[in-house]
Amino acid sequence: MSQIALNRAGQEAIDWMVRLRAATPDAPMQAGFEAWLSSDPANAAAWRHLHQGLGGHYETLRSFERRTQGLAREVLLQPAVSRRKVLRGLTGLGLFGGGLWLLGRTRPGQAMFADLSTGTGERMRYDLDDGSLLNLNAGSSVDINFTASQRVLYLRQGELVVQVAPDPDRPFIVRSDQGSVRALGTRFLVHQEQQATRVLVLEHSVQLSLPNGVSQTLHKGDAALLHARHIERLGSAEKHRADWLQGQLSVIDEPLEAVIEALRSYRPGLIRVDPEVRSIRVQGVYPLDDPERTLTALEETLPIRISHYGPWLTLIDAQD
């Protein structure tokens, strides 16, 4: 059985668990689950592993959830890449056996162990020891490594804007999964996305570098995506991506899937977007601090239907 099949099945197993726990299953839902379970041996294996890790301890999980004010729910209800980590952590483990190992590989766990972090719906501003000003978007975490020779921020997840204080003896660098951004006396944005790092220069310039030696310099107003092996220059109309500093989500011809991704850090629970509507184009300005209002506005202006199943699950699909 291939690892790809197990990863795909693991994501779907957690989705089915959330659906079945969020409401009383009706006949169509139960039939759909049974069809999924029998359609591929990887599905049955993933469900068995998940059930072994959670099924017999679900009430314990709910109790743990209440005591930790949402931590357990956030561990389970992550976007696809994090859900794969949850499944790997649950395989062969009890609910809390190896708990620190599990938490260290999820969004709440990374935030718990990071030097600086923000929770769901929380934006923070920090005065760093060198005089630089750091803003973290919701659901973000960074580690800090300032030495006598350099200043380094490791962006573990989420998004930051930093105003760098001058220090000719210590370069200021932000590292991400894909590469690094070196400040050249500047203010800039870095966003760790699922498969790339987005960089936007708000003042002066930065130098981008990849592990394979590829590098580029960006100036004020420039933006780029750092991929594993290349740097993709973007257009000049990217400045709106820093509007979260004012609590706004500004959207200029983006797919619905990208808009919902931006809301995930501002709203607990899982939001699932049907593939049929993910590519619908969206534009407008929406309040980040009131995600329910944003979802309502999207439903009123787009051919979509939004269904809520308690605080755990929101489904977005096409209108009938």
Lowest mean pLDDT among 124-138, 159-173, 218-232, 257-271: 257-271
Mean of the pLDDT values across residues 284-299? Answer: 95
95 pLDDT more than 80: no
User: What is the residue-averaged pLDDT of the chain?
Assistant: 80
- CA-nearest of 89, 7, 18 to 272 is 18
What is the predicted pLDDT for the residue at 313?
A: 83
pLDDT digits (tens, 9 = 90+) for 188-219: 999 999 899 999 999 999 999 999 999 999 99
What is the predicted pLDDT for the residue at 134?
A: 98
Residue 228, classed as helix, strand or coil, is coil
Domains in the chain: boundaries: 3-113, 118-240, 247-318
Alpha-carbon gap, residue 50 to 13, rounded angstroms: 7
Torsion of CA 56, 60, 61, 63, to 10 degrees: 160
Domain 247-318 fold is Phage tail protein beta-alpha-beta fold (3.55.50)
- CA-nearest of 94, 78, 144 to 116 is 144
247-318 and 118-240 share a CATH fold: no
What is the predicted pLDDT for the residue at 279?
A: 95
pLDDT confidence bin for 129, thresholds 50/70/90: very high
pLDDT confidence bin for 276, thresholds 50/70/90: very high
pTM metric for this prediction: 0.69
Q: Could you say which DSSP state residue 166 is in?
A: P
What is the predicted pLDDT for the residue at 44?
A: 82
What is the predicted pLDDT for the residue at 25?
A: 66
Q: CATH for 118-240, among 2.102.10.10, 1.10.1740.10, 2.60.120.1440, 3.40.50.970?
A: 2.60.120.1440
**Which amino acid is present at 113?**
F
- Bridge-based pairing state of the strands 151-163 and 172-175: parallel
Alpha-carbon gap, residue 68 to 86, rounded angstroms: 18
What is the predicted pLDDT for the residue at 38?
A: 85
The CA-based angle 151-152-157, given to 5 degrees, is: 150
pLDDT digits (tens, 9 = 90+) for 59-71: 344 444 444 444 4
Alpha-carbon gap, residue 120 to 108, rounded angstroms: 10
Burial class (CB in 10 A: 0-12, 13-18, 19+), 132: buried
Alpha-carbon gap, residue 86 to 129, rounded angstroms: 35
pLDDT confidence bin for 130, thresholds 50/70/90: very high
**Could you tell me if 122 and 93 are in contact, meaning their C-beta atoms sit under 8 angstroms apart?**
no
Lowest mean pLDDT among 42-51, 104-113, 247-256: 104-113
What is the predicted pLDDT for the residue at 59?
A: 39
